[in-house]
Amino acid sequence: MIARIRRNARGNRNRAVANAIGDDCAILRFSGGAEILLTTDFSIEGTHFRREWHAPDSAGHRCLARGLSDIAAMGGEPAAAFLSLAMPADLPQKWADGFISGLLRLAKKHKVELAGGDISVAPLICADIVVVGHAPRGSAISRSGAKPGHSIYVTGELGQAAAVLASLRADKKISPRSAPGRRHFYPEPRVEVGQHLRRHKLASAMIDISDGLSTDLSHICQESGVAALIAEHSIPRPSGWEAGSSSLHFALHGGDDYELLFTAPSSAEIPRKIAGVTITPIGQITDGKRGEIFLTDSHGQRKKLTPGGWQVF
């Protein structure tokens, strides 16, 4: 299995990787002025994907997308990925091959080298992805720099991935290659947008929306020691699909969008599009109680927004 992955991974090279699969450790080399960014994310059968819903290449794509999105949220340049993959002994080889191929396709797009990992046996499929990236020293965008008065922005549209998930739960068929389907099955981490914001020093704080806007905005507010006020009408939602009246709920609390959520001082000139992706202002950072979020609804009423996204324990 390892020899097979090693062979298939040969097409994806990154010059930060000095030696890869085949030794006790991978060796990575970065230039002296670089900071190294490292993130790890589980993709566990039943928790993060289901074999009956997700084709193996979608599960592999989503697995790597989770890690790439964390690198994007710091404004980093991804370089290497490490896949730890545990599988049932009777899992068809075809499934594992499809998973790796979906992961490698996305890796290639972002010039990321699969540089190691671990293979093991478990009664269910359990993958842990490590993505290593870099950024010039002191330039990575943390969650803790938001200040009262800063504007809040999101990339793209929110809620589509969660709406698709809800349809899957309701036994509706969604084509993975349709426009809505792609947002759930093959999400695009906003790596270029993150790097643009970092290079031009535009963002004061940033996070990726993996757990839902309400939860991830509360993370920024917690780490920055601030509060936030967002406007319901300004939250970009997909139009023309069957999400209907629940689309606001999905946009506020739905996970798996992998859009970026960032703050910027009013002096920063934020473009309407970055790397082809629409950027939308949705509210303001305030000096309220740490971590608290308020939402102005369509009637102009202000109400408290409780984080309702994905949270473990």
Q: Is 192 exposed, middle or buried (0-12, 13-18, 19+ CB in 10 A)?
A: middle
Residue 48 is a binding residue for a copy of itself (CB under 8 A):
yes
**Is 211 near a copy of itself (CB under 8 A)?**
no
Give one DSSP letter per residue of 100-151, joined into a string. HHHHHHHHHHTT-EEEEEEEEE-SS-EEEEEEEEEEETT----SS---TT-E
Q: Is 118 in the site for a copy of itself (CB under 8 A)?
A: yes
Residue 74 or 193 having the CB closest to a copy of itself = 74
Number of C-beta neighbours around residue 201 at 10 A: 12
Query: Which of 9, 140, 217, 293 is in the footprint of a copy of itself by CB under 8 A?
Result: 140
CB of 175 to a copy of itself, least distance (A): 28
Packing angle, helices 56-72 and 93-109, rounded to 10: 30
Q: Should residue 47 be labelled a site residue for a copy of itself when binding is judged by CB under 8 A?
A: yes
**Interacting residue with a copy of itself among 52, 94, 120, 170 (CB under 8 A):** 120
Pick from 30, 21, 119, 126: which is nearest to 78 by CA?
A: 30
Give the nearest distance from C-beta 243 to a copy of itself in angstroms.
27
The candidate with the shortest Cα–Cα distance to 110, out of 44, 195, 19, 38, is 195
Of the residues 6, 8, 13, 35, which one makes contact with a copy of itself according to CB under 8 A: 35
How far out from the chain centre does Cα 194 lie?
Answer: 11
Pairing of strands 113-121, 17-19: unpaired
Burial 82-93 (b: 16+ CB within 10 A, else e): bbbbbbeeebee
Distance CA 152, CA 84 (A): 36
Scan for tokens 């970026």, then name that residue: 260
Interface with a copy of itself (CB under 8 A), residue from 9, 63, 71, 285: 71
Q: Shortest gap between Cβ of 128 and a copy of itself (angstroms)?
A: 4
Count residues binding a copy of itself (CB under 8 A). Answer: 63
Helix (H, G, I), strand (E, B) or coil at 39: strand
CB closer to a copy of itself, 28 vs 274 = 28
Q: Applying CB under 8 A, which of residues 8, 84, 278, 280 lies at the interface with a copy of itself?
A: 84
Which range touches a copy of itself (CB under 8 A), out of 149-157, 167-175, 201-209, 274-282? 201-209
Identify whether the C-beta of residue 189 lies closer than 8 Å to the C-beta of residue 76: no
Of 158 and 261, CB closest to a copy of itself: 261
Site string for a copy of itself, 220-259 (x = CB under 8 A): ---x------------------------------------
| Residues in contact with a copy of itself by the rule CB under 8 A | 1-2, 18-19, 22-33, 35-42, 44, 46-48, 70-71, 73-74, 76, 80, 82, 84, 86, 115-124, 126, 128, 130, 132-133, 137, 140, 142-144, 206-208, 223, 312-313
